[in-house]
Structures are given as C-alpha cells and as structure tokens.
Amino acid sequence: MKRPDELIVYSEWKENETLCKMVNSMIGIEEKKQIEEIRDEFSTSFHEILEMADRHGFEGNIWHTYLSYLLIMSENAYSLSKEGVTETGKDSISVIVCYDMEIIREWYRFDWMRFSACMDESVLNETVHYRNDKLNRFELDAITRKRISGLSRSLSQSASREEFCNILTNYYKSFGAGQFGLYKAFRLESKGDGSDIIPVTSLAQVHLEDLVGYGNAKEKLIANTESFLAGRRVNNCLLYGDAGTGKSTSIKALLNTYFEKGLRIIEIYKHQFKDINAVISQIKNRNYKFILFMDDLSFEEFETDYKYLKAVIEGGLESKPENVIIYATSNRRHLVKETFADKEGRREDLHSSDTVQEKLSLAYRFGITIFFGAPNKKEFQNIVLTLADRYGISMDREELLSEANKWELSHGGLSGRCAAQFIDYLLGK
C-alpha cells in the first residue's frame, strides 16, 4: 500500500495530516506492527474523520465518504479539465491520473474491521453504517450530501481501476470540482495581499414564492437570471427602493431555486472592490454561473471605492466573463449621494455638470434596474394574511390585522420585512 506522498496529480493530499495518519495506520496493520505503534495515529485521524462526518452530515461508510469528499474538493489539472466537459478523448492527464486512482482505490478497499485491535468492533461497525440525526444542522444541504454518498458507494464498489476513473470523471463532468461544486454561496475573506473565496455554510432557506407580492419585479429578475443561466447576453442588475421590501431576499431566493443549474453567489463588500478583478480571474473559466452580490450598496461623497466597480462593470481593457454577472441592492437609485449643490452648481468645482455625470455613471452601468416600493396598507395586510396562513397561525382575521397595524406603527412602517417580523413575533408567542 502506497502513501499520499506518492500521488502525482493529487499530490496536495500529502499535506493532509488526517489522511496521512490514517494511511500510515493502515500500512502498520498490513506490516503487522505493534498496536502501540499504530493506535495513536489511528485514534487521532479516526476522531478527525468522525468530526468531519458530523459537521457535513455524512452517513454510511465514513472512511469512503471522507475519501470521496477529498476527491470532489481537489482542484487540479485533471479535475478542472473534466469539469462540465461533455465529451473527452484519452488525453495525457487522463492516463497519468490512473496511477493515482490505483493508489486511492486501494485505500477504499482496505478492510476497516482490521482495526479491531485498536478499536472495539461495535464502534468500527457504526462507522461503516454511520447514521446522523442532526436534522438539517449541517454545512452541506441534503441534495449535495446525497450526491456525495452516491459517489462514495459507486467508487467503493468499482470492479477495476478503469471503472473507478470513469465514475470519478463522470462526476466531474456533471457536477464539477472543488468548493464551487459543493457550496451555494461564498464570501471574501481579506488577507494580507488580497482576499480568499470562502464558502458560506449557513444560508437562509428562502424561495421566490416566499416573497409575497412584487410580481413584476420578480419576473424581471427571474427572466434576466434564466437568460444568464442559458448562456444568453444579459445585463447587470440593480434592485433599488424602500427598505425591507425584499430586494436582498429575492437574490438569495434565486440561489435556492437555481443552484442545481449551476448558479453560485459570491458576496462582496465595498471595501473589497479592489479585489474584484482577482476574484474574477479565479472563476472566469469555471463551469458555473456566478452572481457577484453587493448588498445595500451606496456611497457617500467622500467614498471613492465605487470607481473600482465602474472599471469592472464596463470600461476596463479586459471584458467581464460571460459566466459572471453583478447584482446589487440599494436604497438609492443612483448609488452615490447627491446634493442640491450638485444640481445647482454651487460647488468649488468649476465643471459641476461633470461632477453630476461622475456620480451617475455607476448606476447607469447597470443595464437593468428594478424598483421595489413599500406596500400600501392593503398590500401590507395581504402579506400578513398570506404569511399567517403559510405558518398556520389561527387567529381571527380582524384581530390579526388590527394587531398587525399596531405593530407596523411602532416597528418601521409598512414593509414586507415588518410583516415578516410581526409573524415571527406571533410564532414566538
């Protein structure tokens, strides 16, 4: 049995301490070493694999699932070359990777019960038939967990190295590789010389039908998004309007609706705009459609970060990739704060019209603008009644609306957010 440092294409695995310790333990069993020499590394890696299974929600043979998870997360010359490709010939990397697959397949085939000298057999048996009852408190959603479990079973049952390679290749073709294949949403985490793309593991489970009203606004947003997913020419989109009207919720809901079609979202904050080009360079050749999501976007007069964004949207030498689009939300239609002095020319600036155009130029680079206005009294009451029915609140209609009216008077006025908060209040009682 070979160790991880002998892998070629998947050579990054040699840096995985958990995997190295477990393989060392397996080799120790095969070489019939003393149990005392094996037990410490086995116990440490065994604990870490259990923690991973519990965190992600894996079931079945967790050793096989762990290996499958590593295969999915690996972004290398082989996995990325197969991502989203419908037909592939027998290229050199496919031949070379077979060497690695033989090594990894041998790890799959190791009889887990041979560790009975290190661990009670009943405990080992539980990890071969692992069950998880944390309901939905996992980093991965149910569909993704099921997909990984299916891959794990198929790989463990493969009859040959060639079949093992074919199963994995077909997975990469269908679902891709790395974190973009597993997670829906991402954020940027700043580091010294830039930002890393980090998965968001706890998402709001909202869907488009959860947003009551705003039919025209949702239709425009859905149409643009579906055209984007279909590979047609589309526009960047600005959702603007009153607070609490569902602008951000609509974009989050898109993710839950179109995740299976390859949609991913990366949330970017104002102070990270200087890193946008670096982010785009990492995602432009991937087999996914990315929304760069900028929530609650607005700028004061003294803030100039919007100039980075202008260059990315339109105007730089390098065009924006076809698999990247920008969706932003704002309470301001023109994004940058304007004053009467701008309009009337009462500024030290000699060319006040230039100043106005500079401020408006960012908003004008969004080809689609969608307005979300505050609901009127009747629309607000309809939102309350719909949400109350959805969540099974049994209260007299007149009493419900009366309490809702009292609530909105003291909690920010008429808005969808206010209605949702009122329903949460009732559910809490």
Contact (Cβ atoms closer than 8 angstroms) between residue 112 and residue 127: yes
d(CA 21, CA 321): 42
CA proximity to 184, closest of 246, 254, 250, 134: 254
Contact (Cβ atoms closer than 8 angstroms) between residue 326 and residue 273: no
Contact (Cβ atoms closer than 8 angstroms) between residue 293 and residue 301: no
- Give the model's pLDDT for residue 210: 75
Neighbouring CB atoms inside 10 A of 19's CB total: 20
- Give the model's pLDDT for residue 337: 58
- Give the model's pLDDT for residue 124: 87
Contact (Cβ atoms closer than 8 angstroms) between residue 414 and residue 401: no
- Give the model's pLDDT for residue 97: 93
- Give the model's pLDDT for residue 350: 44
Neighbouring CB atoms inside 10 A of 137's CB total: 10
- Give the model's pLDDT for residue 188: 92
- Give the model's pLDDT for residue 352: 47
pTM exceeds 0.85, yes or no: no
pLDDT tens, the chain, 429 aa long: 899 999 999 999 999 999 999 999 999 999 988 888 888 899 999 999 999 998 888 889 999 999 999 999 999 999 999 987 766 567 889 899 999 999 999 999 999 888 888 888 888 888 888 887 765 677 788 888 889 999 999 999 999 999 999 999 999 998 889 999 888 899 998 777 778 899 988 777 777 877 777 788 889 999 999 999 999 989 899 898 888 888 888 998 998 889 889 999 999 988 888 888 889 988 988 889 999 998 888 766 656 666 667 767 765 555 678 899 999 888 777 666 555 455 555 455 544 454 445 556 666 678 888 888 888 888 888 888 888 888 888 888 889 989 888 888 888 788 888 888 898 888 887
- Give the model's pLDDT for residue 409: 87
Sole residue written with tokens 């408006």: 360
- Give the model's pLDDT for residue 273: 82
